[in-house]
């Protein structure tokens, strides 16, 4: 994997670049739609490519391990072939899903033993197992297996989890060095900065990750319910330490305004389930603010769904029609909203990229963020 910075904003830490993988190039800053179980919910792969213009998607190690399983993925030749997606894929390590199974897991230095949410069967994830599963999935970018703590947390818990994350990172690298790639293309490991909301821990972890000298780096343990100002504070702190010449990935973030603010803090890659999850509940993100499509105000509004939208659904369907679909509980409403939101998120980061290259990103961001936050 290679990363080239093509431009920087003079009044923030924002930068525009290109990540090159064996499955294609990724223009940064970039948003990565989440395809948890080998599908981005409610959206065809053709729509992802042609209308939404996704350049990379994210797969979930925990869920793909449980269904369809690594045997099926290996027989298919990896996730790219299984789901007919010929562009880059990033996989998370399963660490966040294991963290979310608080009542049905047991942690140790070796790894985490957990109970499947599907059938109650027990499984063990270790750094080595996470790497093995991601190798079978065949992602272009792997995430290291880490341990995170919710915010707030006790200092000693956050420190212990950070050091466990660092030890597990070394085990991830050892396993990858000892086990050859399966599908004939280069796969890259991203380590993850942890340390909760404690500045000294975040600095220590960011320096450890910098010294690890990977091709790209991630910031984890945020977007777990902390206030926005804490998210921005920690992100700003960490990007000051992580190497300039490597891409930075802020995991699980977030709203359109979160993304723009964190682009300004030097982040290059984002993912979040928000555009599709909120779409299924009737919430649409637009350049003029957030629309609740179940509101009665859209009942007789026959104007296009989003006059500024870039996807076909924005011009082909009216607000009144989409509201009707949601009120009638027709699944088509969820599909239309999902395509719209994902296309908007990709348009958001591409527009941000344009302003970075033009040198006026920070001024543009400060103008547009208040508008994005409005409730329509």
User: Residues forming the annotated binding site?
Assistant: 92-96, 146, 194, 221
3-state class of 115 per DSSP?
strand
**CA within 13 Å, CB half, 77:** 9
Are 356 and 9 spatial neighbours (Cβ–Cβ below 8 Å)? yes
In the chain the first and final C-alpha atoms are separated, in Å, by 42
261: Cβ contacts below 8 Å, ≥ 6 apart: 228, 232, 365, 369
49: DSSP letter: I
Find out whether 338 and 42 touch, Cβ atoms under 8 Å: yes
Catalytic residue among 9, 271, 306, 314: 271
- Which residues are CB-neighbours of 237 under 8 A, at least 6 positions away? 199, 202, 203, 206
The reply to whether omega before 270 is within 30° of 0 (cis) is: no
Tokens in use for 15?
């930068």
Please count the other Cβ atoms lying within 10 Å of the Cβ belonging to residue 174.
Answer: 13
Binding site members for substrate = 92-96, 146, 194, 221
Contact (Cβ atoms closer than 8 angstroms) between residue 339 and residue 47: yes
Listed residue (238, 183, 235, 191) closest to 213, CA to CA: 191
SS3 state at 354: helix
Closest among 244, 239, 248 to 218, alpha carbons compared: 248
Is 119 among the catalytic positions?
no
Q: How many residues make up the chain in this entry?
A: 376
Say if residues 266 and 257 touch (Cβ distance below 8 Å): no
Structure tokens at 55: 């350049």
Does the annotation mark 347 as catalytic? no
The catalytic position among 92, 268, 314, 347 is 92
Active site residues: 92, 271
């Amino acid at each position: 994997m290679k990363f080239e910075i093509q431009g920087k904003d003079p009044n923030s830490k924002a930068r525009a670049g290109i990540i090159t993988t064996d499955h294609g190039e990724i223009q940064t800053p970039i948003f990565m739609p989440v395809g948890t179980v080998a599908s981005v919910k409610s959206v065809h792969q053709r729509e992802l490519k042609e209308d939404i213009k996704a350049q990379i998607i994210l797969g979930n190690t925990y869920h793909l391990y449980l269904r369809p399983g690594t045997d099926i993925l290996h027989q298919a030749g990896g996730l790219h072939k299984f789901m007919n997606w010929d562009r880059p894929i990033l996989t998370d390590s399963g660490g966040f899903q294991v963290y979310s199974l608080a009542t049905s897991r047991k942690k140790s230095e070796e790894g985490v033993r957990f109970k499947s949410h599907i059938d109650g069967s027990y499984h063990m994830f270790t750094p080595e197992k996470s790497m093995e599963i991601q190798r079978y999935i065949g992602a272009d970018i792997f995430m290291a297996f880490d341990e995170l703590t919710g915010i707030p947390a006790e200092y000693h818990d956050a420190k212990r989890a950070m050091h466990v994350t660092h030890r597990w990172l070394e085990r991830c690298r050892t396993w990858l060095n000892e086990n050859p790639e399966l599908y004939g293309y280069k796969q890259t490991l991203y380590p993850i900065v942890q340390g909760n909301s404690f500045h000294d821990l975040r600095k220590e972890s960011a320096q450890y990750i910098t010294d690890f000298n990977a091709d790209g780096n991630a910031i984890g343990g945020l977007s777990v319910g902390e206030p926005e100002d804490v998210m921005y504070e920690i992100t700003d702190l960490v990007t000051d330490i992580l190497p300039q010449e490597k891409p930075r990935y802020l995991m699980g973030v977030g709203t359109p305004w979160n993304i723009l603010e964190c682009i300004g803090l030097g982040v290059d890659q984002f993912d979040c389930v928000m555009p599709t999850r909120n779409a299924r509940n009737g919430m649409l993100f637009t350049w003029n603010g957030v629309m609740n499509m179940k509101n009665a105000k859209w009942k007789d509004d026959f104007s296009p769904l989003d006059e500024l939208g870039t996807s076909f659904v924005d011009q082909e369907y009216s607000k009144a029609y989409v509201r009707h679909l949601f009120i009638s509980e027709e699944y088509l409403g969820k599909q239309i909203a999902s395509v719209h939101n994902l296309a908007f998120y990709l348009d958001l980061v591409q527009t941000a990229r344009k302003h970075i290259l033009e040198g006026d990103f920070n001024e543009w961001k400060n103008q547009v963020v208040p508008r994005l936050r409005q409730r329509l």
